[in-house]
Amino acid sequence: MKPNILGADAIEWLGVHYKTILNAADTDDAISVVDSVSPPGSGPPRHIHHDVDETFVVLSGDARFWIEGAECIRGPGETMFIPRGREHTFRVVSATPCRHLVVLTPGGFEGFFHEMAANGFRIPEDMPAIAETADRYRLSFTGPPL
């Protein structure tokens, strides 16, 4: 097994590396921040966070964001804000990995990534179990990835 590029306390799920750098427990559930590195071509299925705003701060690489039919590309030094309740997804479009901070308000959703990695869930094979876990985090999957 190769070492995680974000350090020993980071996790990996489906080739994406995650390191929680500020968790909900440390902020009275106000916010959490996850440092993520996604490989070229990767991205999640379309989904909705029903009670969490999500802000991406792109540090390296480029990602194409899709929010309810509107698309844009964000690169290093740029941000993307996704309000709760809006269907969205993204895909890494650069030839290099995309490193980005994911700021979640309120905090708590970072636990979803830990559960996915701990269970080794795969997409699409394990979508029923993934959807069941997602429901606990007020996340709904709505369509395919980009």
Domain boundaries, the chain: 11-138
Closest C-alpha to 87, from 26, 36, 132, 146: 146
Model confidence, pTM = 0.92
Interval 69-83: pLDDT, tens:
999 999 999 999 999
Q: Looking at 11-95, which runs of residues are DSSP E strands?
A: 11-13, 16-22, 32-38, 46-49, 53-60, 63-67, 70-74, 79-82, 88-92
Interval 85-138: pLDDT, tens:
999 999 999 999 999 999 999 999 999 999 999 999 998 899 999 999 999 999
Name the CATH superfamily, with its identifier, for domain 11-138.
Jelly Rolls (2.60.120.10)
Under DSSP, is residue 133 helix (H, G, I), strand (E, B) or coil? Answer: helix
